[in-house]
Chain A
Amino acid sequence: MASEYDVVIVGAGTGGYVCAIRAAQLGLKVAVVEKQKALGGTCLIWGCIPTKALLEHAHALKVAQSAKEWGLTGFDPAAVRIDMPAVHARKDKMITGLTGGIEMLFKKNKIDWIKGTARLTGGKGVEVTSPDGTKQPLTARKELVIATGSAARSVPGIEVDREKIIFSDEAIHLKEVPKSIAIMGSGAVGVEFASIFKSFGSEVTVIELLPRLVPGEDEAVSAELEKNFKKRGIKSLTNTKVTAAKAGATGVDIEMAGGEAGGKTQKLTVDILLVATGRGPVTDGLDADKLGIKMDRGYVVVNEMFETSVPGISAIGDVITMGGPHYQLAHVSSAEGIVVAERIAGHTVKPINYDHVPRGTYCEPEIGSVGLTEAQAREKGYDVRTGAFPFKALARARMAGETDGFVKIVADKKYDEILGVHIIGPRATELIAEAVLMLRMECTIEELIKTIHAHPTMSEAVGEASHAAHGAAIHI
């Protein structure tokens, strides 16, 4: 006899577990199937949380190394080193605390965690194979939700051995700081690890196929990051394709084409090659296709209400596609999980506006952005005006000793609409929150100008950028 629940969710990542909690809050009986030893999925176990933890360590190291400037004494700043075992201990302890926190939330909301791997069996049923091999059938009375997420993915021709040629999953666990590391791909994952390992003391090379770093961001942001990386000694090879990578006893031999060398092949040997070229869907063993669920290149196809082609089965998070590109971000998955939970509970729900999704890149300096880039806005035919304000003109940034970067606002001249905000610099990922609300609330530049920003804060840069968009900032 199958255990019956209102909702059965496959996967306890930030999509699945948030969906579960919201559904339970709305009075539904919920089970979540998760095969990992902990709840939280990629975000908590291999992604957002561990990488950002490492970045905090990198920041602490930076402060210690510049002790003289900060007036810290009693030790030799030149001798300060990162202690990787201690770093991992702190990071792992924190992760255990957070994943345990989700278990507590499950208990509080009476959500059953069914440990094991799920296979769809037809209708709204799944069969869970537990780690000891026993099988358990589950049935969802109302809805089955697929939230199986994604995994790092390489590109054709590059074999990942998870020893020397690695994914971010391994990068967060490296026991020693590699002397040299090359990173394929300069999206968020790539530049974050570039930043971390440079701080930790590695020699870092970033290899990007496209003409600029963080190619999804506004061009000005890319240029600023590249400038900053150069200053920090991170080598950026843009317009460059990795044609071969071979792990040997001494390290990884990489062959590249394009870039500065033109068509000629360049060679590079490093201790570690990190492949950060993107993530693909996880549906192994799910048998979703056998049930007739429409798939597209491995992704589960859903409509804007996250319904698959099979009634009663929804999907959220990194595993889905809606036709166009879909952000593989923890907060997007959570938002989708909430929409689905509320829909299942019978609430009236509205589709998510993906134009208003904030993007955070936690390299140094940080990048936070939302909405259209200047180029995208022009492409869409807006009469664009922009305003920017550099952090170096800001008191608070000087106090922090972090004066690189700027706030850039992209707006429409006709109606004064704020179309996008692009921040690179200190606390950029925090500062972007105000901009997300601006877009969500359909704010005009004029309204932003009239919005008072506290002094002295980093957020003043946002207010100043709005003045700049209408003519001139006050402090430059």
Chain B
Amino acid sequence: MPQMGESIAEGTIVRWIKKVGDTVDRDEPLFEISTDKVDAEIPSPAAGTLLEIAVKEGETVPVNSVVAQIGAAGEGVARDTSDTGDTGGKGAAGAGGAGAGGLGGKGAVSADATGAASAPTGKTAPAAAQGDGTPAARSASAAPGAPETPAAPAAPTSPVPPVPPGVDDLRRQKSSPLVRRIAQEHGVDIRHIAGSGIAGRVTKQDILSYIESPPAAPSTPAPPAGPVTAKPPAPPAGSVMPGDEVVPMSVMRRKIAEHMVLSQRTSAHVYSVFEVNYSRVDQIRKAKKAEFEQRGVKLTFTSFIAKVAVDCLRRHKTINASLDGDNVVYRRETNLGIAVALEAGLIVPVVKRADEMNILGLSRAIADVADRARAKKLNPDEVHGGTFTITNPGNFGAQFGLPIINQPQVAILGVGTIEKRPVVIDDMIGIRLMGFLTLGYDHRLVDGAVADQFMADLKKGIEQFDPSQV
């Protein structure tokens, strides 16, 4: 099971595209997985014959578990339990140093994943977690409530460069060998401790007082016990009536359910709704539409809203932030999440460094991730690391929505339907292209004044959009 990004601990095999005995080329789709972040087709790490399928469709296994073996036709199936145990074990136990998850990913699919060319069968790739016994449970990061980390680009076939540490890693590294040792003995997740040292470093004193008097009602959910996601308290079961159809939730549906409830429980949601005049943007859009289409990009209202939003985020850093325990993390990058409705659910691919793009680039990037989200062609790391999200409930006519924040972000912009409305202009009634924008924000960090200043800025930016930017 490939490590599809640092914060993913397990994955479900949804479908085997190849069957035992089939020959596969390198990079040919081999199977389809569903994780808590993304559904993806996994390409074969090597060319050869599919010798064995170890994990059946519908089964969920920890990352780094061997799911299949590829070798030369007629070759026996390798049984190297110690190696697989090692890899899987480490992955499951979650021990790992900085970036270990990402590095570990390269040995992922199985046996031959990395060394296919020179060693067609057998050994599990050596790239297991590299840390020497770092105790903090990496696996916990897959649990609800764990801060999302920028993902490791962990495509199973290519060597993975070391990735810069995510928030989790930074936080965990901001402890000391002694603190990690104490944490291990007491089963404490260091991420839940507020550090008093330099840059939030968790010190011996911090962890000892935490152990002595753990917070009565932890602000973050309790650390999960193992690699398997901790279940939220079970709601009252809906009783089944005769004739009802009972279908298990898909992995994606289950994850959405978990994330939404978690977000509601985590953030103090407050909403602010602004009405925006899109007339000017509409004129620009109409004037430039053809020109953009020639370059293969559709110029949409979303393009303008996204462009102005990322510009505003740079000025209002509190909106482009996260809470991490008692710390506020102001994001250096503006990574824009775009909610995309799928047949079976919802996914939020991320346009990285959106603030560095002009409107053409941003439009192209948004269209690209949205298309690939629908085609299940997203890389796992493309759904990580968002710092702000735009969702578009107006697509289907909603005047405005009250979206739930995409954790660990602190704000989400809902775009209501854009339509002609009568408006009062200079004491006359005119017809203008209008729409509502909703900002859902986390009052733990963002106060009303801050949110409204951002929204006023956003409204002004859209209404007075500079055509020379297009």
Residues of A near any B CB (own CB < 8 A): 350, 415-417, 441-444, 446-447, 450
CA distance A415 to B204 in the complex (A): 11
Other-chain contact of A441, B132, B177, B181, B185 (Cβ < 8 Å):
B177
By beta carbon, the residue of chain A nearest B197 is A350
Which residues of the partner chain B approach A441 to less than 8 Å between Cβ atoms? 176-177
Which residues of the partner chain B approach A450 to less than 8 Å between Cβ atoms? 132
A442 pairs with B179, CB closer than 8 A: yes
CA distance A474 to B44 in the complex (A): 48
Answer whether residue B110 sits at the interface, using C-beta atoms and an 8 A cutoff: no
By beta carbon, the residue of chain B nearest A445 is B177
B185 pairs with A442, CB closer than 8 A: no
A417 pairs with B132, CB closer than 8 A: no
By beta carbon, the residue of chain B nearest A417 is B178
Answer whether residue B53 sits at the interface, using C-beta atoms and an 8 A cutoff: no
A444 pairs with B178, CB closer than 8 A: yes
A415 pairs with B181, CB closer than 8 A: yes
Answer whether residue B182 sits at the interface, using C-beta atoms and an 8 A cutoff: yes
Other-chain contact of A415, B178, B196, B198 (Cβ < 8 Å):
B178
Answer whether residue B387 sits at the interface, using C-beta atoms and an 8 A cutoff: no
CA distance A417 to B179 in the complex (A): 9
CA distance A447 to B176 in the complex (A): 10
Answer whether residue B363 sits at the interface, using C-beta atoms and an 8 A cutoff: no
Which residues of the partner chain A approach B176 to less than 8 Å between Cβ atoms? 441-443
CB under 8 Å from chain A, chain B span 160-218: 176-179, 181-182, 185, 196-198, 203-204
Q: With A415-B182, A417-B204, A450-B132 in contact, is A444–B198 under 8 Å at CB? A: no
A360, chain B: closest CB distance, angstroms: 25
- Interface of chain A: mostly helix, strand, loop or mixed: loop
A105, chain B: closest CB distance, angstroms: 26
A67, chain B: closest CB distance, angstroms: 47
A442 pairs with B178, CB closer than 8 A: yes
CA distance A379 to B68 in the complex (A): 59
A416 pairs with B132, CB closer than 8 A: no
Which residues of the partner chain B approach A442 to less than 8 Å between Cβ atoms? 176-179, 203-204
A350 pairs with B178, CB closer than 8 A: no
Residues of B near any A CB (own CB < 8 A): 132, 176-179, 181-182, 185, 196-198, 203-204
Q: A350-B197, A417-B181, A444-B181 are in contact. List 18 more A-B contacts (CB 8 A).
A: A350-B196, A350-B198, A415-B178, A416-B178, A417-B204, A441-B177, A442-B176, A442-B177, A442-B178, A442-B179, A442-B203, A442-B204, A443-B176, A443-B177, A444-B177, A444-B178, A446-B177, A446-B181
CA distance A350 to B177 in the complex (A): 21
Q: With a 10 A CB-CB cut-off, give which of B176, B177, B185, B197 has the most chain A CB atoms.
A: B177
CA distance A416 to B185 in the complex (A): 12
CA distance A350 to B178 in the complex (A): 21
Which residues of the partner chain B approach A416 to less than 8 Å between Cβ atoms? 178, 181
Which residues of the partner chain B approach A443 to less than 8 Å between Cβ atoms? 176-178
The 4 A-B residue pairs with the shortest CB-CB distance in the complex, in nearest-first order = A442-B176, A442-B178, A447-B177, A444-B177
B326, chain A: closest CB distance, angstroms: 14
CA distance A388 to B181 in the complex (A): 23
CA distance A416 to B133 in the complex (A): 14
B329, chain A: closest CB distance, angstroms: 17
CA distance A297 to B196 in the complex (A): 34
Which residues of the partner chain B approach A444 to less than 8 Å between Cβ atoms? 177-178, 181
What are 22 A-B pairs at a CB distance below 8 A? A350-B196, A350-B197, A350-B198, A415-B181, A415-B182, A415-B185, A416-B181, A417-B178, A417-B181, A417-B204, A441-B176, A442-B176, A442-B177, A442-B178, A442-B179, A442-B204, A443-B176, A443-B178, A444-B177, A444-B181, A446-B177, A446-B181
Which residues of the partner chain B approach A447 to less than 8 Å between Cβ atoms? 177
Which residues of the partner chain A approach B181 to less than 8 Å between Cβ atoms? 415-417, 444, 446
A144, chain B: closest CB distance, angstroms: 28
Which residues of the partner chain A approach B178 to less than 8 Å between Cβ atoms? 415-417, 442-444
Which residues of the partner chain A approach B179 to less than 8 Å between Cβ atoms? 442
Which residues of the partner chain B approach A417 to less than 8 Å between Cβ atoms? 178, 181, 204
Q: With a 10 A CB-CB cut-off, give which of A415, A444, A446, A450 has the most chain B CB atoms.
A: A415
B336, chain A: closest CB distance, angstroms: 32
Which residues of the partner chain B approach A415 to less than 8 Å between Cβ atoms? 178, 181-182, 185
By beta carbon, the residue of chain B nearest A448 is B177
By beta carbon, the residue of chain B nearest A447 is B177
Which residues of the partner chain A approach B132 to less than 8 Å between Cβ atoms? 450
Q: With a 10 A CB-CB cut-off, give which of B132, B176, B178, B198 has the most chain A CB atoms.
A: B178
Which residues of the partner chain A approach B196 to less than 8 Å between Cβ atoms? 350
By beta carbon, the residue of chain B nearest A440 is B176
Which residues of the partner chain A approach B204 to less than 8 Å between Cβ atoms? 417, 442
CA distance A443 to B204 in the complex (A): 10
CA distance A444 to B132 in the complex (A): 14
CA distance A450 to B131 in the complex (A): 13
CA distance A350 to B182 in the complex (A): 24
A354, chain B: closest CB distance, angstroms: 14
By beta carbon, the residue of chain B nearest A418 is B178
By beta carbon, the residue of chain A nearest B208 is A415
CA distance A415 to B178 in the complex (A): 7
B348, chain A: closest CB distance, angstroms: 36
CA distance A417 to B208 in the complex (A): 13
CA distance A392 to B178 in the complex (A): 31
Which residues of the partner chain A approach B198 to less than 8 Å between Cβ atoms? 350
CA distance A313 to B181 in the complex (A): 42
B199, chain A: closest CB distance, angstroms: 11
CA distance A442 to B132 in the complex (A): 17
CA distance A450 to B182 in the complex (A): 19
CA distance A442 to B195 in the complex (A): 14
CA distance A415 to B135 in the complex (A): 13
Which residues of the partner chain A approach B177 to less than 8 Å between Cβ atoms? 441-444, 446-447
A381, chain B: closest CB distance, angstroms: 13
Which residues of the partner chain A approach B185 to less than 8 Å between Cβ atoms? 415
By beta carbon, the residue of chain B nearest A446 is B177
By beta carbon, the residue of chain A nearest B176 is A442
CA distance A417 to B176 in the complex (A): 10
CA distance A447 to B134 in the complex (A): 11
CA distance A350 to B197 in the complex (A): 8
Q: With a 10 A CB-CB cut-off, give which of B176, B197, B198 has the most chain A CB atoms.
A: B176
CA distance A443 to B132 in the complex (A): 15
By beta carbon, the residue of chain B nearest A412 is B178
A118, chain B: closest CB distance, angstroms: 34
Q: With a 10 A CB-CB cut-off, give which of A442, A443, A444 has the most chain B CB atoms.
A: A442
CA distance A172 to B176 in the complex (A): 44
By beta carbon, the residue of chain A nearest B203 is A442
By beta carbon, the residue of chain A nearest B175 is A442
Which residues of the partner chain B approach A350 to less than 8 Å between Cβ atoms? 196-198
By beta carbon, the residue of chain A nearest B198 is A350
CA distance A416 to B196 in the complex (A): 22
CA distance A23 to B179 in the complex (A): 34
